[in-house]
Amino acid sequence: MMRHVTRAGATALMLVAALYHPDVATAHGGGDLEQDPCIRKIGESAVHFSAYQPQYELKEQYCTEIPQEGDTYLVVDLVDPALRNEPVGMRVLRGNGKNESEEQIVADVRPSTHPDGVLRSEVRLDEGLYTVIIESEKRNLMKRPQYLLRVHMIDYQKLVMSIGGPLVGVLLFAWLAYKIIRSKWLRRWWTAAPSS
């Protein structure tokens, strides 16, 4: 009986550890380009987007979740060297990018060549949704990469996911403790234990 309880407890702890491991939800940078959520494709070529707010966090980079309002540095790395020799631009719109004609243009970097492979812009972002569109004059503009930025907003899906792992662990632990306390083996052991 004790072996079953130990096995169930070990299984529950492994499940909690797997669900709660921080790298599962927050992986970014230093890994495989195919796995990076900040990579977008322009045809066969790739671009990488980063946003920085050094006035709050000096070295922290963001992709789509921008934690604070304020001055933000937007950087697009042209991963494919072929993109460096053709005109590439960036447009930042306030809104979700579904109706570009009605949305306010916050920043517009006209297409030009970028021999160093980096497209930069500085923009002031207030709370809300923004769309960053990367444009290439030579590539098909219908398939241009977009990034939806959430500035100073709570992402409830991520919040639920971050709370879900520990909550499942606590519930499993409580259930296991309840089963152990209610087990006949524990009652027999408790009543058979000599009193001093």
**Domains in the chain, start-ordered, CATH in brackets?**
32-156 (2.60.40.1930)
Token pair of 29 as six digits: 């940078």
pLDDT at 80: 87
| Residue 139 pLDDT grade (very low, low, confident, very high; cuts 50, 70, 90) | low
Q: Report the distance separating Cα 84 and Cα 155, nearest Å.
A: 34
Q: Report the distance separating Cα 94 and Cα 39, nearest Å.
A: 21
Examine the pLDDT at 3 and tell me if it is beyond 60.
Answer: no
Examine the pLDDT at 133 and tell me if it is beyond 70.
Answer: yes
pLDDT at 12: 45
pLDDT in tens, 51-63: 999 999 988 999 9
Average pLDDT over residues 62-79: 93
Question: DSSP labels for 48-76?
Answer: EEEEE-TTT-SS-EESSEE-S-EEEEEEE
pLDDT at 143: 60
Examine the pLDDT at 187 and tell me if it is beyond 60.
Answer: yes
| Most confidently predicted of 5-14, 58-67, 184-193 | 58-67
pLDDT in tens, 93-131: 998 877 766 778 999 999 999 999 999 999 999 999 999
pLDDT at 17: 47
- Non-local (6+) Cβ contacts of 51 within 8 A are 61, 62, 63, 66, 72, 73, 74, 75, 149
